[in-house]
Amino acid sequence: MPAALFANLAEELIAHIVDFIHDPRDLCNISLVSKQLSRITAANIYEHVSLRFDAQTLNRITRVKRLTKLFLSHPELTVLVKKFSVRSAWRTRYKDTQEWRSDVDDDTKAAIKKHARNNTEYSDWVDSVACNFGTEDSRIALLIPEFTKLKSLSLMLQDETPTSWYDLALLRSAQTGEGGFNNLEEVMLAACGDTMLLSMICVSPYFRLPRMKRVFVHSVTSDWKTIVYQGNGLEFIPDNLGELYSQPELTNSAVEHIEFRQCHLNERDLRQLAFACHSLRTFILELGENLEIVCNPANILKALAPCKETLQNLWLDVTVHFQVEDLEDLRPLSFTDFTSLVHLKLAPIFLLGSDASELDSTELFVKAIPASLEKLSFVKCELNFTVLHRVLQSLLSTKAVRHPSLNQLRIEGPFSRSGGWWDELFELKSLAEEPSVSLEVWDNRYGPEGTPFFIPEEDMVERGWGMDEDIIWTDCDDNSNARWAFKRVPLTESDKNQIDINGPFPVS
């Protein structure tokens, strides 16, 4: 198309064409052609701002400086940002040597003055921004409240410091609904590293936002004191931490989707969330391994009782390091009170209890599974698969009478390494055909080193979010949210003869 003809097109049509261009480099190149195209492409360029840091400290802080300067000096661009994500940003770590310090420009000082509550906090904040070593949080915390049209926020933090400018500045905005927080619809907060945990005190303000619908949190605890005293070299811990985050009890929230991965929550926090979220549709809970903090699984459903008529999707799981044998006297959980439940996903321990040897498998499903259920999924099936197999036999044989809505069954486990479970899986496949239940078997392909099925640690896959792990956030850069790769096993008759009872099964 001749340049003159293109220039005469209506801006709405040009903007529509630009919407089909997704490569950031191409968009930036187009924006350099003319002032008109720069204005038109701006919404596409700045709609999603993503920061991914490498290990070079100087490069990290330089990128944050440029981004902060750009948005603070051009406030007209801040209204274009709809999604902001940060991966592996260091929290404040002071290094008081002159070579690591630089001057703070007037725009940044003005932004700090706007958000600081007093002169002392202003001075500390300026001092943190002036430091060029591991203080990305102090600059990024100035930006997010300026994104007044922000709908999605994704933050991943590292280092052991439990509080930062994120906590002090962003959460104040969340508590008061300032800036873009009134438009936030979803938030993902994650902590990486073996000792890093987020406090529920820092998470709960997001549930108060008027348009918040989805909350995803990785590594959260109810006990902030455990966080404060477990790290080393913590320079920035206010003595009045509890007072800083004091707020009225949560009573009303518009959140419909809650997901806690590797969490250490007590029953009180779970009950308060369930009570406040009157329209909760999806609840996903993965228990961490610290049993001194974790809510006893037997009390989880009690805490969720206020949502028994609205909850449609429920997933209860444990981390790979969870010591299941520590859950003594855990009785099988009953889900029949959740009358709207459509998809139930469980680690077997929640359905079978801690002692499944004397379990009456027929009665179990009568008492445990609601009639509304359409899809039933099991993960980590290596945790007592023998009993689970017997229970599933009973389910499939009585499905037509007792669970007429059930049409999908999914089983996930390391079957290639288990040897003798393939006959049981083929039997379940056969049983599922008559009541028209779609059975899916997903196999962990991980095998011994030196075999074709060996998956090195660096090839572990990032877990998605949601009931089907189909909600994808930016990769976490470490293995804190990773798992071994799973593949679906077809379980057809033609494949049956290929099974090597001592080795991995060929998967699609």
Domain spans, the chain: 1-46, 329-508
Distance between CA atoms of residues 84 and 71, nearest Å: 13
Q: How far is CA 134 from CA 94, 105, 234, 480, in A?
A: 7, 19, 13, 21
Distance between CA atoms of residues 222 and 281, nearest Å: 23
Distance between CA atoms of residues 503 and 494, nearest Å: 18
Strands 186-191 and 152-158: parallel
Distance between CA atoms of residues 369 and 186, nearest Å: 31
* Token reading at 39: 């204005």
Is residue 240 predicted with pLDDT exceeding 60? no
Scanning the structure block, which residue is given the tokens 């798992």?
483
Instruction: Please provide the average confidence, as pLDDT, over all residues in the chain.
Output: 75
Q: Give me the pLDDT at residue 452, please.
A: 46
Is there a contact between 270 and 300 (Cβ–Cβ < 8 Å)? yes
Residues 114-142 have a mean pLDDT of 77
Label residue 81 by pLDDT band (50, 70, 90): very high
Is there a contact between 150 and 81 (Cβ–Cβ < 8 Å)? yes
Label residue 161 by pLDDT band (50, 70, 90): very low
Backbone φ and ψ for 214, nearest 5 degrees, come out as -135, 130
Backbone φ and ψ for 325, nearest 5 degrees, come out as -65, -15
Q: Give me the pLDDT at residue 59, please.
A: 64
* Token reading at 139: 């600059």
Task: Indicate the pTM of the whole model.
Answer: 0.84
Is residue 82 predicted with pLDDT exceeding 70? yes
Tell me which amino acid residue 132 is.
Answer: N
Listed in sequence order, the residues at least 6 apart from 376 whose beta carbon sits closer than 8 Å to its beta carbon are 343, 344, 345, 369, 395, 406, 408, 409, 410
Is residue 344 predicted with pLDDT exceeding 80? yes
Is residue 89 predicted with pLDDT exceeding 70? no
Q: How crowded is residue 244: how many other Cβ atoms within 10 Å of its Cβ?
A: 15
Tell which residue, 68, 249, 43, 46, has the closest CA to residue 145: 68
Q: Give me the pLDDT at residue 17, please.
A: 84
Label residue 475 by pLDDT band (50, 70, 90): low
Distance between CA atoms of residues 324 and 375, nearest Å: 25
